[in-house]
Amino acid sequence: MFDTIAQEIPLQRIDFYGRELWIKRLDLVHPYISGNKFYKLKYNFLAAQAQGYQHVLTFGGAYSNHIAATAFAAQLFGWKSTTIIRGEELAQRPLNSTLALAHEMGMQFQFVSREMYRQKSSPEFLQDLQHEYPDAYILPEGGTNALAIQGCQEILSADDLHQFDLICCAVGTGGTLTGLIEASHPHQQILGFSALKGDFLTQDVKQLTMKRNWQITDEFCCGGYAKTTPELLTFIRAFEDQYQIPLEQVYTGKMLWGLSKMLQRNELNHKKRILVIHTGGLQGRRIAPA
Ligand SMILES: *Cc1c(COP(=O)(O)O)cnc(C)c1O
């Protein structure tokens, strides 16, 4: 199944603030098993299949690209899927479009309290959960684990590893960035644009890789996860208009807006060849026309 989805990923060249950018269009992989989520799920689904699982259980709610991708992948495999979700998100009517879609794909919702949801990574909670769902292969929130990182190493082709000296990517949990780092050559720099506020992601990624040819900035997160500013939204509309490449406001929009700022400040003059990873996630696009 995964072999038939991702074949050749096109690179698209654009002129951007006086520079040449190459965009790796992972958004074109699949409308819902989209972008980096395809790579994060691939080896997890293959491992689950090899172990005889036919049910995948994960976490996350409103607008999560990981939920959309997991629900679709499970449906393609003919498996059950379940997501643990905070009760108040399910209480909202109508159901937001991501959850409605996941539900259509057959995903079951198990709602828990906010307090319980907070324990989602604790070993005790996970053990109890596995007890409750003995037939389920459990994926963490956002889907980041060792197999996800392994899959994300395949985002970069042998050509990409030769041609580019700067690789840019949006960061949520850091799993995708870690895959890029692990695949990279020492002469390459990997630059992560965080969708969240704070430097905890730098600490997290340091735990996941020994390499140090990378950096994460939260300067362009617009105050935090899923937050936006009028300037960001204006940038996204103008970008889409000029290049006919769709973005969304949580990840890829912030990355390219941040990159435009850095180029305008001449911060990347020493970088000759820049590759930008379009991580997809367009099902979560919420940009009203100006
Ligand atoms: C999930 C997601 C990310 C973040 O990926 P991580 O591996 O969690 O850092 C980036 N971009 C898009 C479009 C996403 O959906």
Which percentage of the chain shows pLDDT scores above 70? 98
**Which of 44, 171, 190, 216 most suits a substitution to test ligand 1, by most atoms within 8 Å of the C-beta?**
171
- Contacts for 217 with CB less than 8 Å, ≥ 6 apart: 191, 192, 193, 194, 258
Ligand 1 closest atom vs CA 280:
13
What does the pLDDT read at residue 132? 96
What does the pLDDT read at residue 7? 66
Give the separation between CA 90 and CA 108, rounded to whole angstroms: 12
What does the pLDDT read at residue 1? 65
Please list every protein residue whose CB sits less than 6 Å from any atom of ligand 1. Answer: 35-37, 65-66, 142, 144, 170-177, 251-252, 279-281
Q: Supply the pTM of this predicted model.
A: 0.96
**Which of 36, 121, 167 most suits a substitution to test ligand 1, by most atoms within 8 Å of the C-beta?**
36
Q: What is the pLDDT of residues 8-24, one digit of tens each?
A: 788 999 999 999 999 99
At residue 236, φ and ψ (nearest 5 deg) are -60, -45
What's the pLDDT band for 61 if we cut at 50, 70, 90? confident
Q: Which domains occur in the chain, in start order?
A: 2-32+149-284 (3.40.50.1100), 38-143 (3.40.50.1100)
What does the pLDDT read at residue 146? 97
Ligand 1, atom 15: closest residue by C-alpha: 281
Q: What is the pLDDT of residues 216-261, one digit of tens each?
A: 999 999 999 999 999 999 999 999 999 999 999 999 999 999 999 9
With beta carbons less than 8 A apart as the criterion, state whether 149 and 180 touch. Answer: no
Rg (CA), the chain: 19
Q: What is the pLDDT of residues 97-137, one digit of tens each?
A: 999 999 999 999 999 999 999 999 999 999 999 999 999 99
Please give the structure tokens belonging to residue 225. 């996860």
Please give the C-alpha separations between residue 171 and each of 53, 105, 139, in angstroms, as whole numbers: 30, 27, 18
At residue 17, φ and ψ (nearest 5 deg) are 50, 50
Name the residue with tokens 């990923």: 9
Q: Strands 107-112 and 274-278: what pairing? A: unpaired
SS (H, E, C) 115-183: HHHHCCCCHHHHHHHHHHCCCCEECCHHHCCHHHHHHHHHHCCHHHHHHCCEEEEEECCCHHHHHHHHH
